[in-house]
């Protein structure tokens, strides 16, 4: 077909430039998520921390993330997606500097909260920006680039941790290194435009038409504009209230929040934040050995995300979710079992733990990671898309905060085995939720998805 992915050649270069620059926000999010894993080992040398204090140093970023996500929806709808991305880059830069120069645990936590503010904003606005810019045939692939950038950021953070591990101010260099990609994002996004859907909602059709011509030169921009205007008009007619929210919009929001619960509460960020800590508990007594192990995990996380990029628009979102969730759940039970059988496994424990974590990360990387954000960016009605995605992002970081804060305490109180088994049980629930409530959005325009919700089509019949 003329408009298939195979025909996306040089004439679509501008679309990929936009996606590449915007995805730098994902790299920053991944970097500030992963860098604390190695830095925490050295922060403890500067300021000895209790289990609860370690939880706060890690999860303080998530407090800021909830606040960033809360304000982001309204800001993105009022001022546009582009301006919010610019603000996010500036906040990332400020937070990186504050963490690098922190003079106490208090100031480190403050810096982490500022970084969290940016993380909350970027995890909402970049998938929204990419989904509204992407043609439907490659929308899944381009939104997956954001998750690829997150995994690249995590891998980058692990490499930075190793580079500065033997430096005099190791953890300060680690945390401050986020300044560089923040400045690159700030400069790059300044040269790009906003999304056509937002521009049309603000009656700036001429600008939207020019952007459509750049990102989809084979299509008729007037047809796109007419479809979006029709969607906005129908929503305005059917709403008899001052607020744009209507009853049929409740279900996509519930599904979006459920998707965020599945993504976070199967334990991904406990693995990312505490990879080095877990490996040390499993038997890697040498700090550098634990850091090398985390780099291996980062490589797997990065490479397996390409599976989602290549297949999410071919086989669909739900088949990848089923496969990934099965692998995630089984690996969590295996990881818990490896700790439970410590006395039997002896020195083999660390290799069983490594294998379980590698399988877990690989399965998450092609399923829950990218597809979680794809689904949430696709299913929300246009009229409340900014607000609804903001709510889902708040839920994401709220779940993340609870999990990250309690993880070191759970390890201390009930042990590694039962902690990972709890996450495994959540994986079983997630499989049921995916089957029952998640719609398949492959091959459908955002407007078609919205009409299905509005007409009360069950998720399984999309």
**Phi, psi torsion values for 12, nearest 5 degrees:** -105, 15
pLDDT at 59 over 90: no
Average pLDDT for residues 247-263, to the nearest whole number? 92
Counting the structural domains of the chain, the total is 1
Higher pLDDT, 208 or 294: 208
CB-CB neighbours of 431 under 10 Å: 16
Q: Considering the entire predicted model, what is its pTM?
A: 0.70
CA dist list (Å): 116 to 65, 149, 268, 424:
4, 17, 17, 27
What is the rounded distance in angstroms from the CA atom of residue 203 to the CA atom of residue 50? Answer: 55
Supply the range of the domain harboring residue 30. 5-461
pLDDT band (50, 70, 90) for residue 5: very low
Higher pLDDT, 178 or 59: 178
Taking a C-beta distance cutoff of 8 angstroms, is the pair 225, 444 a contact? Answer: no
pLDDT at 2 over 50: no
The CATH number of the domain holding residue 110 is 1.20.1250.20
pLDDT band (50, 70, 90) for residue 20: confident
What is the rounded distance in angstroms from the CA atom of residue 31 to the CA atom of residue 151? Answer: 8
pLDDT at 38 over 80: no
Average pLDDT, the chain: 82
What is the rounded distance in angstroms from the CA atom of residue 315 to the CA atom of residue 108? Answer: 44
Q: What is the DSSP string of 272-288?
A: HHTHHHHHHHHT--SHH
């Amino acid at each position: 077909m003329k408009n298939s992915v195979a025909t996306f050649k040089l004439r679509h270069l501008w679309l990929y430039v936009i996606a590449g620059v915007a995805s730098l926000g994902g790299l920053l999010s991944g970097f500030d998520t992963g860098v604390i894993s190695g830095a925490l080992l050295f922060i403890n040398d500067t300021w000895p921390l209790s289990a609860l204090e370690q939880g706060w140093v890690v999860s303080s970023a998530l407090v800021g993330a909830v606040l960033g996500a809360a304000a982001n929806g309204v800001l993105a709808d009022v001022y546009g997606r582009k301006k919010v991305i610019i603000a996010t880059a500036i906040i990332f830069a400020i937070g990186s500097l504050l963490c690098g120069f922190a003079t106490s645990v208090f100031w480190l936590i403050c810096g982490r909260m500022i970084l969290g503010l940016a993380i909350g904003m970027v995890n909402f606005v970049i998938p929204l920006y990419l989904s509204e810019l992407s043609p439907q045939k490659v929308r899944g692939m381009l939104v997956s680039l954001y998750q690829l950038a997150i995994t690249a950021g995590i891998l980058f953070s692990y490499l930075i941790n190793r580079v500065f591990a033997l430096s005099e101010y190791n953890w300060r260099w680690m945390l401050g290194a986020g300044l560089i990609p923040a400045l690159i994002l700030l400069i790059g996004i300044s040269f790009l435009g906003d999304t056509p859907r937002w521009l049309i909602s603000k009656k700036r059709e001429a600008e939207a038409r020019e952007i459509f011509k750049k990102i989809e030169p084979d299509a008729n921009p007037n047809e796109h504009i007419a479809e979006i205007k029709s969607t906005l008009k129908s929503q305005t007619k059917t709403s008899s209230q001052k607020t744009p929210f209507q009853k049929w919009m409740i279900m996509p929001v519930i599904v979006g929040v459920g998707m965020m619960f599945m993504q976070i509460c199967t334990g991904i960020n406990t693995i990312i934040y505490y990879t080095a800590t877990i490996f040390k508990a499993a038997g890697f007594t040498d700090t550098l050995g634990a850091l090398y192990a985390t780099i291996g995990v980062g490589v797997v996380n990065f490479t397996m995300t390409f599976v989602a990029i290549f297949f999410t628009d071919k086989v669909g979102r739900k088949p990848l979710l089923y496969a990934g969730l099965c692998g995630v759940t089984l690996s969590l039970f295996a990881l818990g079992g490896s700790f439970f059988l410590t006395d039997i496994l002896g020195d083999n424990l660390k290799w069983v733990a490594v294998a379980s974590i590698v399988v877990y990360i690989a399965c998450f990387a092609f399923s829950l990671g990218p597809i979680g954000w794809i689904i949430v960016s696709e299913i929300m009605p246009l009229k409340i898309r900014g607000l609804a995605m903001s709510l889902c992002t708040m839920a994401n970081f709220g779940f993340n905060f609870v999990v990250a804060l309690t993880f070191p305490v759970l390890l201390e109180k009930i042990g590694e085995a039962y902690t990972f088994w709890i996450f495994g049980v959540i994986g079983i629930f997630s499989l049921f939720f995916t089957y029952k409530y998640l719609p398949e959005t492959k091959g459908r325009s955002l407007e078609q998805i919205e009409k299905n919700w509005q007409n009360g089509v069950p998720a399984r019949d999309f």
